[in-house]
Structure 1
Amino acid sequence: MSDVNLDDQSVQSDSDEGIVRYEIDDKPPLSEAIPLGMQHLLAMFLSTVALPLVIAGAIGLGQSETTFIVQMALLVAGISTIVQVYSVGPVGSRLPIVMGTSAIFVTPLIDIGNSFGIAAIFGAVIVAAPVEIVIGYFYDDLRSLFPPLVTGVVVMLVGLTLVPTAIQYSAGGPGASTYGDLANLGIAGLVFLIAVLFNQYFDNFLSIASVLVAVVVGYLVAAPLGLLDLSGVADAGWVTVPMPLEFGVEFHPSAIVIAAFAYVVTSMETIGDVEGTTGTVGRRATSREMRGGLLADGVMSMFAGVFNAFPNTSFSQNVGLIGFTGVASKFVVAICGGFLVVLGLIPKVAAVVAAMPEPVLGGAAIVLFGMIFSIGLRLVAENVELTQRNLTIIAASIVLGLGVEVQSDALAQFPDDLQVLLGSGLLVGGITALVLNAIIPGDGGLTAADASA
């Protein structure tokens, strides 16, 4: 419940998260709204550019292609954020939700790209997006299939399957002649250490932007060591107009199935973020807000595939920022979206980001991917009773999911398309959790409180 007091500048209310300084429909003065919008930008910036960098590097794209991918990621994130905030028809929650590249898709898209090429990635992203749109329309009926036990296991697998990628980049990047050099490992370790220290021992903005601070320091340290190559920045233009399907598009059934399952997983994440956002102002999300949020995820991810970007979803760290600051104004978040659009139209900005040395990216990735695992772990720990049944489901799902991811050669006797499907740890582990939860008698993975609700 909330106790609302109005004045000329803001609305303050009690909520489960603390004091609400600006409600969802409030418009702070521009002198406050602009820096608050920049704060949202900084909170999500590294994640929304690091994930495309990881995918581009893992599938072997060159620097100019990587720069373009990053540019499109920023542009689409900005447009998606504005649509989510203000809506286009039924698409959009009309809540202060920041959108960006989804971490759920990193491992699946790397698997698709290495098996079929980048055109197949965008084909799968576009064709599979209606899965989340359907979930948006029928989320009340379908949500019971995905209790915290299942979604928590899948989110943990997202983090675990990305661990090898983080370590590879920390050592210098796959195939690098300097792979494993102490300089690479030292820079990665420095970035990791600074991120942890700033997050744990500083308050307010420095804590929220700890990974960004660590990356800036990593850049500065890498430059005199000859690890920072900014030659691509000079070649990049100042303004460009995005072109659809720049890399072409291909359709492979196994790739589409993998992407479709990832859309199911990210739908569950978005449901949590929508509830978390409205929770900061002391209420539950309405059906219209939930449907609009999921529809925005699906529709704007399809839009992302057409415009050479990877699927977009709500950013949980920005939901946390709203609870931390008490600023729930969607006007502020729309300003963040505007900044992203501007940055996405300036190739030089994308070129600077794309030049990030691999060890710097690796040190940041250890933190980011580790936090994804931790979020899944917390989801299970806080919502699931750890009975013998539920522990069995967790164990089987994690071992099978992680096993096929790191030992894909064990599947060499299967047909090629089936190898792609069975080699996806997210798909194998997620389906294992989903099926076992459905067939093993029990409470469906809920806590006692949830089961009786």
Structure 2
Amino acid sequence: METDTTDSESSIVQYAIEDKPPLGEAIPLGLQHLGAMFLSTVALPLVIAGAIGLDGAQTTYVVQMALLVAGLATLVQVYSVGPVGARLPVVMGTSAIFVAPLISIGTSFGVAAVFGAVIVAAPVEMVIGYFYDDLRQLFPPLVTSIVVMLVGLTLIPVAMDYAAGGPGAESYGAFVNIGLALLVFVVAIGLNQFFEGFLSVASVLVAVVVGYIASIPLGLLDLSGVGSAGLISLPSPLEFGVSFEPTAILIVAFAYLITSIETIGDIEGTTGVVDRQPSNEEMEGGLLADGVMSMVAGAFGAFPNTSFSQNVGLIGFTGVASRFVVAICGVFLVLLGFFPKVAAVISAMPDPVLGGAAIVLFGMIFSIGLRIFADRVASSQRNLTIVAVSIVLGVGVEVRPDAVSAFPEEIQVLLGSGLLVGGLTAVVLNAVLPGGRAPTEPTAASESATTE
């Protein structure tokens, strides 16, 4: 039944958190959430899997697990398992913050080290759940904006590689690859800027579908793996094995620290739709769910899970805050995750299609960080200096890792992570340079519309 809106909730709230719309409305609303987060849910694992050298069957399995774990994690957030879960309409999936660090780990230490680090570092978010008020002081909007900008900037080479045909491809840079990526890019931008409603919200997803279809007559779509994929498949624990590299664990732990701040903002943004602050139990449960379900993800061959900011934006845009609706999205994700053929069809996505979408997604991440800085940070000499130094060092080590080749290999991996170097630089400079002050507003992550 539709909720009666009060003056405090305002008329934009169509369904409050505990409301259950009729199934005839709830199912399409749940599918809308699925559409808003689906591309990020599959595109980011595809990028990581391709960059660390997984074969077709392994990539299909990773995509399958990405869908399954995202669905399970969403259901845990919505309904909770004991203290784990916020009991709020929070959609879960892999964050873009993990892409560059996991690629760096996979290429340096192997795929087993990726999943070992994902599992071992996950408790970082659980600990932050109990100390988030204190830790937020380390991440004012200045620092958070820099980190978000670095996420987008350090992923630009990845997006360009895929748009050109994929890393190491014989046809790298061919006109057909660039043209297909450009088609996806133009359709995504056009739908987003000139249309409203679902076509605008799901513009990148629609653009990928257009590019996927266009790749057929171009001879770029290879569906041979679909026939060999099983109809139904169950998860296989430790499919890729695990190994524990201290350097890898440290890098992923820092990424978890950043995503926990993002989750705090997402939870605040979600409850803000119904005009209230989240309770301590909701915040702790949400962060616990991030950590616990990321451990589950690592154990079953998926990448870390965290809240999806674009779905928070969708809740604010539609006024539908019902966790029942989000649970329907979670159920669809779980069902998709049991069908390898669905994952195989997705995994067959040509690299230029993925690249065209990635340019839009990763570029938007950078622009969101820029917007946070412009809207919420004073343009003082101090703050501009912190931005300049952090961005230059972060991007510098990412694109020129040979600059730190004199260090031991383990240290090179740390110093070669642009997110780690730039992010820590911002944290340290903000703490030691005079003139800083603690934020009085909600964390900047709540300002973002999509950092996944």
TM interval, short-chain normalised: over 0.9
| One of 190, 203, 220 as aligned partner of 2:196 | 203
Pair 449,112 (structure 1): closer, same or farther in 2 beyond 3 Å:
closer
Shift of 1:152: 1.2
Shift of 1:12: 3.0
Superposition map of 1:36-435 within 5 A: 36-435=29-428
Distance, in Å, in 1 between the alignment partners of 2:255 and 2:50 is 20
Shift of 1:39: 0.7
Q: What residue number does 1:12 align with?
A: 5
Q: Does structure 2 retain, via aligned residues, the 8 Å contact 1:132–1:294? A: yes
Please give the per-residue CA displacement for 1:337-372, whole angstroms capped at 9, x wherever unaligned: 000000000000000100000000000000111111
Of 11-20 and 210-219, the range deviating more from structure 2:
11-20
Letter in 2 for 1:361: L
Distance, in Å, in 2 between the alignment partners of 1:9 and 1:250 is 51
Three-state SS of the structure 1 residue aligned to 2:437 is coil
Distance, in Å, in 1 between the alignment partners of 2:86 and 2:116 is 26
Pair 446,382 (structure 1): closer, same or farther in 2 beyond 3 Å:
farther
Please give the per-residue CA displacement for 1:369-396, whole angstroms capped at 9, x wherever unaligned: 1111112112222221111111111110
Q: What residue number does 2:446 align with?
A: none
Of 169-178 and 281-290, the range deviating more from structure 2:
281-290
Pair 75,89 (structure 1): closer, same or farther in 2 beyond 3 Å:
same
**Matched residues, number:** 443
Please, what is the CA RMSD of the aligned residues?
Answer: 1.5
Distance, in Å, in 2 between the alignment partners of 1:326 and 1:181 is 45
Three-state SS of the structure 2 residue aligned to 1:37 is helix
Distance, in Å, in 1 between the alignment partners of 2:220 and 2:7 is 49
Structure 2 residue ranges without an equivalent (≥5): 444-452
Letter in 1 for 2:253: A
Q: Does structure 1 retain, via aligned residues, the 8 Å contact 2:113–2:248? A: yes
Letter in 1 for 2:55: G
Report the identity percentage. 72
Structure 1 residue ranges without an equivalent (≥5): 1-7
Q: Does structure 2 retain, via aligned residues, the 8 Å contact 1:13–1:20? A: no
Pair 121,55 (structure 1): closer, same or farther in 2 beyond 3 Å:
same
Shift of 1:448: 10
Distance, in Å, in 1 between the alignment partners of 2:331 and 2:159 is 31
Letter in 2 for 1:405: E
Letter in 1 for 2:138: L
Please give the per-residue CA displacement for 1:285-332, whole angstroms capped at 9, x wherever unaligned: 222111111111111111111111000010011011111111100000
Q: Does structure 1 retain, via aligned residues, the 8 Å contact 2:268–2:442? A: no
Shift of 1:18: 5.8
Letter in 1 for 2:42: V
| One of 415, 422, 441 as aligned partner of 2:434 | 441
Distance, in Å, in 2 between the alignment partners of 1:140 and 1:415 is 37
Distance, in Å, in 2 between the alignment partners of 1:241 and 1:37 is 24
Distance, in Å, in 2 between the alignment partners of 1:17 and 1:393 is 39
Distance, in Å, in 1 between the alignment partners of 2:135 and 2:425 is 18
Shift of 1:281: 1.0
Distance, in Å, in 2 between the alignment partners of 1:407 and 1:326 is 46
Letter in 2 for 1:37: G
Three-state SS of the structure 1 residue aligned to 2:306 is strand
Distance, in Å, in 2 between the alignment partners of 1:402 and 1:100 is 26
Q: Does structure 2 retain, via aligned residues, the 8 Å contact 1:92–1:293? A: yes
Q: Does structure 2 retain, via aligned residues, the 8 Å contact 1:78–1:339? A: yes
Shift of 1:142: 1.4
Letter in 2 for 1:64: A
Distance, in Å, in 2 between the alignment partners of 1:411 and 1:15 is 55
